[in-house]
Structure 1
Amino acid sequence: MLEKPLDFWKNVVWSDESKFNFSGSDGKVMVWRTRHEEFDPKCTVPTVKHGGGSVMVWGCFTRQGVGKLCLLDRIMDRFYYRDILEQNLLPSINHLKLGQQCMFMHDNDPKHTSKLIKDWLNRKGIQTIPWPPY
C-alpha cells in the first residue's frame, strides 16, 4: 500500500466507528503520585453517577472533505452496518463527487467483512482496499 502514488489516495473514503464519553474515560486511569498524595484532587478522578453516558458514531472522510456523521442508536451488527452504509456512505460519496472511482477503506471487524457487506458493496460498485490482518 505504501508504494501507491499520492494521486491514488485522493479517491479513498476512510471510515470507522468511535465512542465518545460525556465525562472522562470509562477505562482504567493510571496516575503517578507519591505516597502522601493519595487523596490530592490532582491525583484523583471524579466519578459521575451512572457513568456519565456516551455516544457512538460512524463517520467517513476523504481528501476532498468529510462525509456524513451518523449517531448509532444500537449495537451494530452486519445488517445495521449495511443500513448505515446505505444511508450515509452513498450520500457522502455523491456529495463529495467521488463517483465510481472511489475506494472504500474500513477495518477487519467481522461485520465489515461479512458476506452480506461484501455482496452489498459489490452490488453498489464500491471497491474496497484490503486491510492488513494485524
Structure 2
Amino acid sequence: MKRLKFVMRYGKKPQTFWDNVLWSDETKINLFGSDGMVRVWRKPGEECAPSCTVPTVKHGGGRLMFWGCFSAKGVGNLAVINGNMNGPMYRDIMDKNVLQSAKKLNLKKGWHYPHDNDPKHTSFVARAWIVETKLKVLEWAPYSPDLNPIEHLWSEVKE
C-alpha cells in the first residue's frame, strides 16, 4: 500500500523535479568473493575441474564500505565508511557531504533528498540534522531499495 502511495505522490512529477533530487546510499564492496552461497553446476567427474571450483579466502577476504550520492547533473561526494555505520556516523557523513554535493551539482533551491527507511537514516541524530538544515526529504516507501537509482550506479561500480 505504501509503495502505491509513493507512486501516486511522485509518479507524475515532471523531469524538472527529478533533476533536483540528490540520490544517496551506502554500499559494501567485497574485496574477494561473495557474502552469499555460491552454487556451481557440474557434471559427474568434474568436481575438481578449475571451471567448477570457486576460490575462497579465510575470514572473508575484506570489504570496503562507501556512502555516495548523485543527481541528474552528475556525481557528488564519495565518503569512505570505517566500521559499522550508525546514526551519528551517518549524520557526520551527511554534514560533510550532502550540502556540499548539492552545491557542487548546482541543484536548485528546494531540491529533495531521498533516503530509505534504514534505522541509521531515521535515527534521532539524522532526523535532527535534517530539521536543522531544513532539508526537503522525499518520503520513501518502506522496503523499496529498487526505487533508488543509486543501486544501479553501485552495481556498475562493483563490476
- TM-score, L = length of structure 2: 0.78
Q: In 2, Cα distance between the equivalents of 1:2 and 1:30?
A: 39
How does 1:95-134 map onto structure 2 within 5 Å? Answer: 95-134=104-143
Aligned residues: 134
Unpaired runs of 5+ residues, structure 2, are 1-9, 144-159
Contact residue 77 and residue 101 of structure 2 kept, 8 A: yes
Which runs of structure 2 are paired with 1:33-48 in the superposition (5 Å)? 33-48=42-57
Q: Indicate the SS of the match to 1:12.
A: coil
Letter matched to residue 74 of structure 1: G
- What is the CA distance between 1:51 and its match in structure 2? 2.4
What one-letter code is carried by the residue in structure 1 that aligns with 2:32? Answer: S
| Cα deviation digits, residues 58-104 of structure 1 (max 9, x gap) | 00000011011111012111001000000111211121122532100
TM-score w.r.t. length of structure 1: 0.92
Per-residue deviation, 1:121: 0.8
Identity %: 49
Q: CA RMSD in A?
A: 1.4
Runs of 5+ in structure 1 lacking a partner? none
Contact 2:19 2:71 in 1 (8 A): yes
3-state DSSP of counterpart to 1:100:
coil
Q: Distance in 2 between matches of 1:23 and 1:75?
A: 19
